[in-house]
Amino acid sequence: MVANDKQQRVFTGLLAGLLLALMAVLAGGAALRESVTIDEVAHIGAGVSYLQKLDLRMNPEHPPLPKVLAALAQRARYNRVVLLVGARSPDDLLFARELETWRRRGADVQATVDRANPTWKGHVVDLVTGFIGSAVHDPAQTAAFVCGPEIMIRLCAHALVSRGVAADNILVSLERNMRCGAALCGHCQLGPLLLCRDGPVVSYADAAPLAAKKEL
């Protein structure tokens, strides 16, 4: 009886060890395949494609802004890269820690907030559109990527067009209430566009006439 109990404990220990080893192998493989950084190899190439060709077909699974900024690793390819970012307060700024990194890589980074705190050393203005005039030096050679609330997108895109940037060279991210993600339910419809399939990033030339229609 004692021998049987001992054998059972040994068997149980071996089985537990094998299961833990199997879990370690599976977890390690998943970390290599599904890590949050595993697909970043394609980000620089995608960002270069976005900037040079305004072609979003490469690596469309992720938002374009981080990939455009990743292309700063190839900084010599571009004349001037400007990042305008705004938020209600310094605590609400996205990519706050990365802003200085992008500055060091050669981007002209302008951050603004609606309400400053005692430690804020940046701009305090109501709208980020106030920087567009100084950001655009050569309208014919300018490509713009705009994301944020739709009212802000419209104001920024209008300011860019007024500055002489072609509507085809302005890409806007139109986030709508997406449910099925397969262009079936219609929740993300904007006129003839189903943004889960046709977007969410589209040119302002396509978005402007649709955004001007009430209740679309």
Q: Where are the domains of the chain?
A: 80-211
- Give the number of other Cβ atoms within 10 Å of residue 59's Cβ: 18
State the CATH class of domain 80-211: alpha beta
DSSP state of 173: E
Strand-pair category, 193-194 with 201-203: unpaired
Structure-token pair, residue 140: 């014919």
Indicate yes or no: pTM above 0.85.
no
| pLDDT tens column, 29-73 | 776 666 555 566 677 777 777 777 777 677 666 667 777 777 776
Q: Regarding predicted confidence, which is higher, 156 or 63?
A: 156
8 Å CB contact between 67 and 59 = yes
8 Å CB contact between 70 and 58 = no
8 Å CB contact between 157 and 204 = yes
Strand-pair category, 144-146 with 170-173: parallel
Nearest-Å Rg of the Cα atoms of the chain is 24
